[in-house]
Structure 1
Amino acid sequence: MKDKKYPSIGRGEAWALLAAFSYALTNVVLKWALADAPPLFGAAIKTMPMWLISIIVFLGKEYLKKLNPRSEDFIGMDSILILALLGFIVYVLGNWAFFEALKVGAVILTTPIMGTQAMWATLISYIFLKEKMNFPMILGMLISFLGVILLTIGNLGGNIMLEGWQKAVPLTLLAALCYSSSGVIKRYLFTKKSLDRWTVSFLEVTTGEILLHIIFLIQGNNYYSIIPCITISKFIFAGLFGALAIISITTATSLTQVASATTINSTQTAIAPILAMILLGEKVNLEVGLGIILIMAGVMIVQLKKPVTD
């Protein structure tokens, strides 16, 4: 019997670290770009690189038959409606909330709070999908929650360029809930409906982009004619980093344990603030620093102690 070969140790972790840096850079570039554009427009442009990739893969794999009701491969109208809802939750509501939070708040505030989505996803999965949860995971959630409280307290003084924290904190929590809910819905589609990730990605992103542009039409805003090309290019730049992050974390989970990959990826909650301090001149006081550390530690505990599912 031949020995089973495993991927080289360290490759998956390297990809996960690349994903963390890419996600962190995405948020820093978005903060830079949002100074000159509305959040919803930024959300539409930032998503375009990933939308283009999903279209190419979807058409290249000849998946259009999955949308044909007369085809044996038709995914079902219920799945299409769920994916349409998913597109609204992630690319309209979630992105609006997070981009608005980034516009009025700071990267060192919004990114760590956004990192709590792993905690919310675990809690939602426990409630709706009956997935297992243990005491260390609960402890990790409490530690992260304490970190959010410290992070908020650290901004009460208003002396470290975070004057928008009152609006940024609830908006970021709303975005984290949207993104974590989408993860649970996707897990349901993958496991119960047997959908592949490119079908989910294509329909989710396409719905989101269509809805965003319908909103622009209703508002009567032709952003493409009034937003400078340099600002649009910033959002595209952020979208490229976002696409790289998605590809990197997907590759990482194929080369190493999911818990290891997601734990390393969670370090973006610390990497983004460091990059924001260097590139954007944002400052951190003691309470904010401790809050960031606690959030990251709590998220890591939740990821590492999560029961392995078959």
Structure 2
Amino acid sequence: MSRLVARPATTADYDHFARLFVELDTGNPILPRDRWESVLARDTLFFEQDGEVVAYAYVQPLRGVGYVRHVVVAPSHRGKGVGGGVMRAVAAHLRGRGCARWCLNVKPDNTAAVRLYRSIGMEHAYVMTTFQLAWDAAARLPRPFRRVVARPAQPSDDAAVEAAFAMPSGQVAEARARGGLVLLCLVDPAAPDAAPLGFTSFDPFLPGAFPFRVAAPEFAAPLLEAIRPHAPRAPEALLVTVEDDDTLVALLGDVGATVQLVGAHFRGEIPAAG
């Protein structure tokens, strides 16, 4: 097998991204060129063999943790060790950015990918479920018994949000820096210094909320209501990704939300070079 060459993305790589992105089979639309160039390209690596682009990885270096968001190998090059080469290059890239740990999401039935991630020391942490939730279904969710308020999440909220919902340090700041996202924090106005009750990063393009975290299932309704003014008028539904919260998953299913995607979250220490 010829050598796999990793390189940073350039603006000329959009067509390669669009061709390979669909292989993720998430059901999400392909980002338009301007959004890809401004949001994803700076954190994307492309991989070539004999001058042909055969894979890409989109990676977010956070504070000590690398979030591997996309890993795609062209169908014609699967089963040939390309995936392992991609992950070794991603590991080196993240170590160079000061990361000691990494995490990613994978479809549980993608046995080859799961095997690869386990072989490099990653372990399964939790299940995440992406729902398509119609607004009329959201209206049937239970309401909290106390008054809560949703407001824009400020940089001063980031540490409290990440601590409350066990998110990687720097994930909220990274979402804010990307631009085009609506960050909302759910709080108890009677206890402004208490831990946040909910948080979401909403992308109007999809439209979708990821992450969507609440301290208890009854806080989902007010957080969704806060999203709605920011959603496009035409779609009657939005995507909501629930992580490590079986109770909320069951509740959304009960009100009629449909599952679009189920993923397994893996994480671990980045292997040393060599």
TM-based fold match above 0.5 = no
The structure carrying a bigger helix percent of its residues is 1
RCO higher in 1 or 2 (8 Å CA, sep ≥ 6)? 1
TM-score, normalised by the number of residues in structure 2: 0.22
The structure carrying a bigger strand percent of its residues is 2
